[in-house]
Amino acid sequence: MSVDTDARFKMVEKTMKKLGYDRSALIESLHTAQETFGYLEPEVLKYIARKLRLPFSKVYGVATFYHFFRLKPKGKHTLVVCMGTACYIKGANKLLDKLEARFGIKAGETTKDDLLSLLTARCVGSCSLAPIAIYDNRPVGKLDEERTLAEAEGMLS
Amino acid sequence: MIRSLEELQELAEKKRCDDEACKEELRVCIGSTCLSLGAEAIQKELDSGVKARGLEKRCRVKGVGCNGLCAAGVLVSQVNKASGTEILFESITESDAKALLDAYETGAVLESKRSDTTRAFFTKQKKIVLENAGYIDPDDIEDYIAHQGYAALFDTLTNALPGEVLDEVKLSGLRGRGGGGYPTGLKWESVAKVESEVKYIVCNGDEGDPGAFMDRAIMEADPHRILEGMALAGYACGAEQGYIYVRAEYPMAVEKLNRAIKQARQLGILGRHIADSGFSFDVEVRLGGGAFVCGEATALITSIEGNRGHPRQKPPHLSDSGLWNAPTVLNNVETFANIPPIIRNGGAWYRGFGTEKSPGTKVFALTGQIVNTGLVEVPMGMSLREIIEEIGGGIPDGKKFKAVQTGGPSGGCIPEQHMDTPVDYDSLKSLGSIMGSGGMIVMDEDSSMVEVARFFMEFCQSESCGKCAPCRVGTTELSKILGKFSRKEATARDLDQLRDLCEVVKETSLCGLGQTAPNPVTSTLKYFESEYLDAIRKENA
Ligand SMILES: Cc1cc2nc3c(=O)[nH]c(=O)nc-3n(C[C@H](O)[C@H](O)[C@H](O)COP(=O)(O)O)c2cc1C
Ligand code: SF4
Ligand code: FES
């Protein structure tokens, strides 16, 4: 990955430019970087630090403070289980237990074959459909244990 | 470009006439919940069906924001604009679209999917903030304008002084809808009074309460209303720049807001010299990063500046030193959304709704063990019972009501015996809960109150920013103790410790997160102490 040849850096630069390379552009730049690269690798963080004239420690500190930013790559598929209050009240933790047992990983981890990342969210804003999980950007609501697993198998196959 | 109130009115009139040429509309809810149930495909199906049947002269298919009854999505309504009648259909799937059109084409109605709109869910609500939700196309600024949109702003810029806007907002008695309930007019006045070249208007769209989606629905269904409210605040306080801080988990809301800003700029409704007046105002969206503490005012400000979201001590208040140290007004999404109707109809009109000390309406997100989950807007002062039993349709599966949680991680659980309490800032506070931003989670007899308390404490523990020890250490300890209760391994000493620690964390934490984190525990201890006592091991008792 090279800053000069990899066009993805240009995307990040565009965001910084739009915001006048001001230090307040940091969080927006991290968002763009995560969108384009999938996660925030050290190379990208360093690039942003250099361009915004910020110490690397500052960039790293901000990136690790916000839950939304990922410093590790995700698996090929992602499954996000909502653990907000409405979903919790309707048994989201049991669904998560089932998934953890089925795939042998804890929430926040990725399977060894890099096929699946199991994540949790704090309310995805569709509480009427609780409990809800998001399978590769596709929200599925009113889940029970059976459907939760079936949808996961379906996504991976 | 629209340069005057007259031009705005002309555009509104023209849009209304264009609309009327087409007598009927099929409106498909494209709010997030309905979208995840396949609303987009249904909209496409209806649209191509209408065209294939040659009905497009008399009927238009349009996507609209959330109408509230998310439990019965996807919602489609058939509206006759000439007669003003509306027929609502619920639980529509892609395969129903054809049947719906078959019936529509012959002048009949698909009775099997018809929703009963004479229910309390529809009749007992009062929509001010959500007046356009479910009616207008959020992606079309002209639709907003045709529904009196930006009329308050343009009328104000043409005919009123900033002080007059302040007076109306003060008169309305509007209080902040983000949870604290601070009078909005007073907040604005304190910023208006400060002499400063630069001032900012900031809208809090972080909506961190996990189980609440009022602000999301407003941003998605009627984004222009927020921009208009912010511009009016800018005029009243002397600010030219606004920011909307939206959580990154709400990509739809971000998209709608950005589109709305672009359209408003194109028409000169945002930008330099709005309505040919001396007033300039622009708005930008900033993304949050999924940290609950960033909903706190000082943390949000420092997050916009590009830092970790650590709260700071107040004073200085934001009105003196906010964003980039400039005087700053920070209000919640719903607060700003109340402003255009207040300015349009007057503060006295607004006072006609709600109670003496809490005027107006409040939007609630009803969720949990309740039949009609979704969004409702009711006058302040309505009882919890009316909201939950009548509007919400009660508890499903013949179960008994146990408690309702309001205010999320900063709030508390209210039991059956207080169901007749009127919902307003002060009454809920006196019960040991808070109004909060509007999440209302209903729990039935099977729910464990200790579990609920533990859930929220773990939430606060993981969301604590770690800046001050009482919150960082306190929430960790409290979670541990609550874990013992939830495993039924607690001792009598644990109960004492729980009480003491709650007091310490509440009294000594730096920001609202820590100060209110014990609320779910203290309120459940107050009303459901027996559940804690039951969790104490017999041999330890
Ligand atoms: C931990 C914490 C989280 C908060 N989260 C939000 C939020 O998500 N949205 C919001 O509008 N206010 C939130 N608030 C309240 C804000 O600090 C602030 O009071 C409010 O946005 C002011 O606007 P208002 O006067 O219009 O209510 C939060 C406060 C605390 C202490
Ligand atoms: S109370 Fe908690 S969230 Fe607030 S500043 Fe202290 S540690 Fe941070
Ligand atoms: S709590 Fe799961 S969507 Fe809100």
pLDDT tens digits, A103-138: 999 999 999 999 999 999 988 888 999 999 999 989
pLDDT in tens, B514-534: 999 999 999 999 999 999 999
CA of A124 to the centre of ligand 2 (A): 24
For residue A31, is it within any domain?
A: yes
- Distant-in-sequence, close-in-space partners of B25: CB < 8 Å, separation ≥ 6: B59, B60, B61, B62, B78, B79, B81
pLDDT in tens, B404-449: 999 999 999 999 999 999 999 999 999 999 999 999 999 999 999 9
Q: Is the CB of A105 under 6 A from ligand 3?
A: no
Instruction: Inspect the interface and report whether the beta carbons of A65 and B291 lie closer than 8 Å.
Output: yes
Q: How far apart are CA A35 and CA A8, in angstroms?
A: 10
Q: Which ligand is nearest to the CA of B469?
A: 2
Nearest Cα neighbor of A61 from A74, A73, A52, A49 is A49
Residues of chain B with CATH 3.10.20.600: 361-444
* Shared domain check, A124 and A60: no
For residue A27, is it within any domain?
A: yes
Q: How far apart are CA A93 and CA A87, in angstroms?
A: 8
Question: What three-state secondary structure class fits B18?
Answer: helix
Closest residue in B to A93 (Cα–Cα): B455
Contact call for residues B293 and B309 (beta carbons, < 8 A):
yes
What is the β-pairing status of strands B76-80 and B59-64? unpaired
Q: What is the CATH number of the domain that holds A125?
A: 3.40.30.10
For residue A115, is it within any domain?
A: yes
Nearest CA owner, ligand 1 atom 29: B296
pLDDT at B540: 53
* Shared domain check, A83 and A55: no
Residue of A25, A87, A127 lying closest to B306 (CB–CB): A25
pLDDT at A5: 81
Closest residue in A to B308 (Cα–Cα): A62
Residue of B210, B373, B443 lying closest to A122 (CB–CB): B210
* Shared domain check, A94 and A55: no
Q: Which atom of ligand 3 is nearest to the CA of B210?
A: 1
For residue A54, is it within any domain?
A: yes
Asked if pLDDT for residue A4 goes beyond 90, the answer is no
**Domain extent for A141:** 77-156
Q: Can you tell me which residue has the tokens 């969210």?
A: A121
* Shared domain check, A47 and A16: yes
Q: Is the CB of B210 under 6 A from ligand 3?
A: yes
Indicate the burial class of B84 (C-beta count within 10 angstroms; 0-12, 13-18, 19 or more).
exposed
Q: Which ligand is nearest to the CA of B177?
A: 1
Q: Which atom of ligand 1 is nearest to the CA of B299?
A: 17
Nearest CA owner, ligand 3 atom 3: A127
Residue of A65, A85, A139 lying closest to B455 (CB–CB): A85
CB atoms within 10 A of CB B381: 18
For residue A52, is it within any domain?
A: yes
pLDDT at A122: 87
Question: What three-state secondary structure class fits B238?
Answer: coil
pLDDT in tens, B165-196: 999 999 999 999 998 899 999 999 999 999 99
How remote is the C-alpha of A54 from its chain's centroid?
24
Residue of A25, A66, A88 lying closest to B455 (CB–CB): A88
Nearest Cα neighbor of B361 from B420, B441, B412, B435 is B435
What are the helix (H) ranges across B383-491? 384-385, 425-430, 449-463, 469-486
Asked if pLDDT for residue B82 goes beyond 90, the answer is no
- Domain B148-351 classified CATH 3.40.50.11540? yes
Q: Roughly what angle, to the nearest 10 degrees, separates helices B519-527 and B492-508?
A: 140
Average pLDDT, chain B: 95
* Shared domain check, A61 and A12: yes
Nearest CA owner, ligand 2 atom 8: B465
CA of B295 to the centre of ligand 1 (A): 5
Asked if pLDDT for residue B541 goes beyond 60, the answer is no
Q: Can you tell me which residue has the tokens 């309310």?
A: A123
Instruction: Inspect the interface and report whether the beta carbons of A128 and B250 lie closer than 8 Å.
Output: no
pLDDT at A2: 76
For residue A149, is it within any domain?
A: yes
* Shared domain check, A103 and A143: yes
Instruction: Inspect the interface and report whether the beta carbons of B37 and A130 lie closer than 8 Å.
Output: no
Q: How far apart are CA B460 and CA B479, in angstroms?
A: 9
∠ Cα B300 B302 B303 (to 5°): 60
Asked if pLDDT for residue B538 goes beyond 90, the answer is no
Q: How far apart are CA B249 and CA B200, in angstroms?
A: 25
pLDDT in tens, B216-247: 999 999 999 999 999 999 999 999 999 999 99
The tally of domains found in chain A comes to 2
Q: How far apart are CA B485 and CA B532, in angstroms?
A: 7
Instruction: Inspect the interface and report whether the beta carbons of A65 and B365 lie closer than 8 Å.
Output: no
Instruction: Inspect the interface and report whether the beta carbons of B304 and A139 lie closer than 8 Å.
Output: no
Dihedrals φ, ψ of B89, to 5°?
-115, 145
* Shared domain check, A143 and A82: yes
pLDDT at B539: 59
Contact call for residues B169 and B349 (beta carbons, < 8 A):
no
* Shared domain check, A145 and A81: yes
pLDDT at B179: 87
Whole-number percent of chain B with pLDDT over 70: 99
pLDDT in tens, A63-85: 999 999 999 998 999 999 999 99
* Shared domain check, A100 and A150: yes
* Shared domain check, A36 and A83: no
pLDDT in tens, A11-57: 999 999 999 999 999 999 999 999 999 999 999 999 999 999 999 99
- DSSP letter for B72, please: G
- Domain B361-444 classified CATH 2.60.120.620? no
CB atoms within 10 A of CB B74: 28
Residue of A30, A89, A138 lying closest to B443 (CB–CB): A89
pLDDT at B531: 96
pLDDT in tens, B153-173: 999 999 999 999 999 999 999
Instruction: Inspect the interface and report whether the beta carbons of B287 and A83 lie closer than 8 Å.
Output: no
Q: Complex ipTM above 0.90?
A: yes
Which residues face B120 on adjacent strands? none
Residues of chain B with CATH 1.20.1440.230: 449-540
For residue A101, is it within any domain?
A: yes
For residue A129, is it within any domain?
A: yes
pTM strictly above 0.80:
yes
Quote the minimal CA–CA distance from B48 to chain A in Å.
24
Q: How far apart are CA B507 and CA A129, in angstroms?
A: 37
* Shared domain check, A88 and A141: yes
pLDDT at B482: 97
CATH of domain B22-118: 3.40.30.10
pLDDT in tens, B254-305: 999 999 999 999 999 999 999 999 999 999 999 999 899 999 999 999 999 9
Closest residue in B to A18 (Cα–Cα): B284
Nearest Cα neighbor of B62 from B218, B221, B213, B267 is B221
pLDDT at A137: 86
* Shared domain check, A61 and A83: no
Contacts of B465 in chain A (CB under 8 A): 65
Class level of CATH domain B449-540: mainly alpha
Asked if pLDDT for residue A155 goes beyond 90, the answer is yes
Closest residue in A to B212 (Cα–Cα): A125
Instruction: Inspect the interface and report whether the beta carbons of B307 and A84 lie closer than 8 Å.
Output: no
pLDDT at B81: 85
